[in-house]
């Protein structure tokens, strides 16, 4: 069985991938399945935490023991995460958040123009929710965890991202065949602010989740 080392702790996990509307029927999205975030929510609940799961466009049943808030866009995810983060001991940003959104959303379905050139979609930059969380920790002891998918110079890029986003832990996923997006398995290096990195060998996403909670529990003391 799992330790009950998160008993009485309030935990927020974001999962899935945000969608940014182009018009009423179209969006810009990504391939995140939500499996890693859901594994984090499930294992945290099993370790005794009170879990709020902010789920963006995830086609999975609600995990046992978590309060689920469903969102679509980055703006909605940001609102839900920042609201829940106020009283949280831990925030884990496992969601794939769109870096950009269409600058304007058409109120009606965009039509194929008669043989003309299509209009370009102008993009605007989304707020970086993880960086905001790192900047305005609601208590000095609040633990903030980010995720990153890096393909090369994993340690150097990961270290820089950990510092830039001001988080305590950064889970760097290895992207490759049978790993990460949409698969039950993952392999990761967890970078630790002020500590040595922890390698999680290829295995079920629960293994990455439990490795994260081990490090979180140690930081919470
Ligand atoms: O910078 P990058 O997108 O690689 O960072 C990934 C991490 O930052 C993830 O934890 C993701 O949830 C978070 N993120 C965010 N807001 C954004 C973009 C990414 O919170 N706009």
- Convert the pLDDT of each residue in 124-159 to its tens digit: 999 999 999 999 888 889 999 999 988 788 889 999
- Average pLDDT over the chain reads 94
According to the model, what pLDDT value does residue 13 have? 99
According to the model, what pLDDT value does residue 75 have? 98
Q: What is the pLDDT of residues 78-111, one digit of tens each?
A: 999 999 999 999 999 999 999 999 999 999 999 8
Q: How confident is the model at residue 184 (pLDDT cuts 50, 70, 90)?
A: confident
Nearest atom within ligand 1 for CA of residue 150: 4
CB 11 less than 6 A from any atom of ligand 1: no
According to the model, what pLDDT value does residue 150 have? 84
Q: What is the pLDDT of residues 22-41, one digit of tens each?
A: 999 999 999 999 999 999 99
3-class SS of residue 4: coil
Contact 172, 162 (CB under 8 A): no
Q: What is the pTM of this model?
A: 0.96
Ligand-binding annotation for 153, yes or no, is no
Q: Nearest to residue 172, comparing CAs of 184, 157, 182, 194?
A: 157
Ligand-binding annotation for 197, yes or no, is no
Q: How confident is the model at residue 209 (pLDDT cuts 50, 70, 90)?
A: very high
Q: Which residues of 161-189 are buried (b: 16+ CB within 10 A; e: fewer)?
A: bbeebbbbbbbbbbeeeeebbeeeebbbb
According to the model, what pLDDT value does residue 114 have? 67
């Amino acid at each position: 069985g799992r330790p009950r080392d998160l008993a009485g702790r309030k935990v927020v996990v974001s999962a899935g991938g945000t969608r940014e509307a182009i018009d009423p029927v179209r969006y810009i999205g990504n391939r995140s399945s939500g499996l890693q975030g859901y594994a984090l929510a499930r294992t945290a609940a099993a370790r005794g935490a009170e879990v709020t799961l902010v789920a963006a466009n995830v086609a999975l049943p609600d995990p046992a023991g978590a309060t689920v808030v469903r969102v679509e866009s980055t703006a909605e995810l940001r609102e839900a995460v920042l609201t829940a983060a106020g009283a949280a001991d831990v925030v884990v940003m496992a969601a794939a958040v769109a870096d950009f959104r269409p600058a304007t959303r058409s109120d009606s379905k965009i039509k194929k123009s008669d043989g003309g050139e299509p209009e370009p979609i102008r993009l605007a930059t989304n707020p970086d929710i993880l960086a905001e969380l790192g900047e305005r920790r609601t208590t000095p002891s609040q633990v903030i965890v980010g995720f990153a998918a890096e393909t090369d110079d994993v340690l150097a890029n990961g270290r820089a991202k950990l510092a830039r986003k001001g988080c305590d832990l950064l889970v760097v996923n290895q992207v490759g065949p049978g790993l990460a997006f949409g698969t039950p398995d993952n392999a990761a290096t967890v970078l630790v602010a002020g500590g040595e990195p922890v390698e999680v060998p290829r295995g079920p996403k629960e293994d990455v989740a439990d490795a994260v909670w081990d490090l979180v529990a140690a930081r919470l003391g």
